[in-house]
Amino acid sequence: MSKLKCGYCSQKAAKRYCRSLDKLICLFCCATNRLKNISCDKNCRYLDNETYQKQIREEKELKTLLENIPHSYLEPWII
């Protein structure tokens, strides 16, 4: 029994139903194209993951910014 191919890329195995496209798509196409090339339905269950990933990216950016602050700027607040 052959696996269904992605309705977006036609290469990988389709595992997610995309209501906006009305097709089964692969996880990779869903993750890389949601809200960019696919007009996702606001009730899509996979958007919860997008919100979480955005929060993680923002936290990493903040951590990087804080790591690049010279230590001399932090000393007055430590005292």
Which residue did the predictor score with more confidence, 11 or 66?
A: 11
DSSP state letter for 34: B
**Paired tokens of 72:** 């001399």
Q: What is the rounded distance in angstroms from the CA atom of residue 67 to the CA atom of residue 70? A: 8
Could you give the CA distance from residue 61 to residue 63 in angstroms, rounded to a whole number?
A: 5
29 closest CA partner among 57, 20, 58, 56: 20
pTM of the model: 0.60
Residue 74 has pLDDT above 80, yes or no: no
Give the pLDDT of residue 69.
76
pLDDT of residue 26: 96
